Amino acid sequence: MGFPHKSHPKETPVLSTHFGDPEARSLSGWRARGGYRALEQALGMSPADIVNVVKDSGLRGRGGAGFPTGLKWSFMKPGDGKPHYLCCNADESEPGTFKDREIMRWTPHALIEGCAIASYAIGAETCYIYIRGEFTEPLRTVGAALDEAYRDGILGKSAMGTGKRIDLYIHKGAGAYICGEETALMNSIEGRRGNPRIKPPFPAVAGVFGQPTTINNVETLAAVPHILTNGAEWYKKMSSSSPKSTGTKLFSVCGNIARPGNYEVVMGFPFREFLHDMCGGARPGHTLKAVIPGGSSVPIQTMPEAEATLMDYEGFVANGSMLGSGGVIVFDDSVCMVRMIARLARFYAHESCAQCTQCREGTAWVTKIMERIERGGGTMHDLDTLLELSENMTGKTICVLSDSCAAPVVSGIQKFRHEFEAHITGKRCPMRSAAAA
């Protein structure tokens, strides 16, 4: 549902059904809403059967990369004699994205149930839920829910009395966007600086503590109990376009929009209707100008591109962007695109872990040039320099933070070049002068 707003009739609430309902937070409240039946069911199945159901459902990672979840789980080899680990990525820090926060603060047991099922399916006895340090409320609610689950015997040495050990622990982050990158997250759990690791080896071979590890996003794991309860076919049917994108997806909507919030729709929902109807469209007296549909790391869409998009993995790519994390950032005509992109560049410069030269130097350099243009001190040559820099920052580093900084810059120059040129030729921000007048 469009929390904090009422559910829109065209939404399909699955994960968000109980957002805003404080009673769903407690174990008794969760049980009353059907909770932990899926885990009970799962513990009676073979791990391989669970993996197959998730494979068949078509569920793909909701953190940004969209990797098929069941396939990822199948990389964990049973009986290899090594300890297996599950990591839940709750380091939600991608600008524009705030869906995992709502899952954790309203339905913490949904996440715990998903983590427990996944742990069992991949043969992991230990799962770390890595929650960013700034998420004080989710840390409290998930912490309290874990205590309840342990007290009730759902977790621990003998999960639900089955003799299977499933331990879930919260690992609290300490302020670092990059720790949302899977291998940086693992380093951070190990007590290291959050530098991403070179891959291969991939986590399924050598992840946290050098052992086979699966890492999934909060939203991905929270979907698993529903898939087990209702079946793969049910999940697969929730798609109105591509067979490669199934189920529902939470979209966080923010920026210059009438009703910001979290909306849950089936994959393939028309983005035009989503923006203008479900989210209420532009604020009175304004028109929408641009959308960053998948968190700040994906290319910016013009309104014609956005309005032609069907909201799934393929649909966003076909229209100049990516689904990413589903963090929809909307800009209207009150906003200077150059200023917004400069601020995003500053974000990436601040968050670069600085181990790769292209990223460490590139993000800082891009920020410097973007801020110079925004102040009115840029030249036309700067635009070429930015594009050249971005080229050198893309596909050349250990992780994609560098690429993520380049994406809004390149798409911004391509699609909103006139705003850049207006700053350069007018030697000031035209929006600021308009505001001052």
Partner 1 sequence: MGAVHAESHAGHGGAGHPHREEYRPVFTGAVRAELDSVMTRYPTKMAALLPALWMVQRERGWVSEDAMTEVAQVLDLTPAYVKGVVTFYTMYHQHPVGRYFIQVCTTSPCGACGAEDVVRAFLEHTGTRELGVTSPDGKFTVIEVECLGACGFATPVMVNDEFHESVTPDRVADILSKLE
Residues in contact with partner 1 by CB under 8 A are 4, 83, 92-98, 100-101, 126, 132-137, 167, 169, 171-177, 188-194, 209, 252-256, 260-262, 296, 327, 329, 331, 335, 339-341, 343-344, 347, 350-351, 353
Minimum distance from CB of 432 to partner 1 (Å)?
12
Contact predicate 255/296, CB 8 Å: no
In 124-191, which ranges are continuous DSSP H helix?
136-151, 182-189
Burial of 303 (0-12, 13-18, 19+ CB in 10 A): middle
- Residue 173 or 324 with smaller CB distance to partner 1: 173
Note whether 351 and 177 are within 8 A (CB): yes
CB of 327 to partner 1, least distance (A): 7
Nearest to partner 1 of 351, 382 (CB atom): 351
Tokens of 437: 């007048």
Residue number, 296 or 390, with CB nearest to partner 1: 296
From residue 175, alpha-carbon distances to 131, 183, 196, 350 in Å are 10, 16, 15, 11
Please, which residue, 221 or 279, has the CB nearer to partner 1?
Answer: 279
Sign of CA dihedral 14, 137, 62, 306: positive
Closest contact distance (angstroms) between CB of 176 and partner 1 is: 5
CB 42 → partner 1: shortest distance, Å?
23
Provide the minimum distance between the beta carbon of 414 and partner 1 in the complex, in angstroms, as a whole number. Answer: 18
**Contact call for residues 264 and 248 (beta carbons, < 8 A):** yes
Using CA atoms, how far apart are residues 68 and 56, in angstroms rounded to an integer? 10
Q: Shortest distance, CB of residue 228 to partner 1, whole angstroms?
A: 27
Q: How far is the CB of 271 from partner 1 (least distance, A)?
A: 17
Q: Of 67 and 169, which has the nearer Cβ to partner 1?
A: 169
Query: Residue 299 carries which DSSP code?
Result: P
Residues 6+ apart with CB under 8 A from 208: 85, 87, 128, 186, 189, 190
Q: Is the Cβ of residue 74 or residue 195 nearer to partner 1 in the bound state?
A: 195
CA distance 202 to 205: 6
DSSP 332: E
96 vs 270, beta carbon nearer partner 1: 96
Residue with tokens 């007018």: 426
Q: In angstroms, give the least distance from the CB of 214 to partner 1.
A: 17
Question: Are the C-beta atoms of 330 and 291 separated by less than 8 Å?
Answer: yes
Q: Which is nearer to partner 1, 69 or 252 (CB)?
A: 252
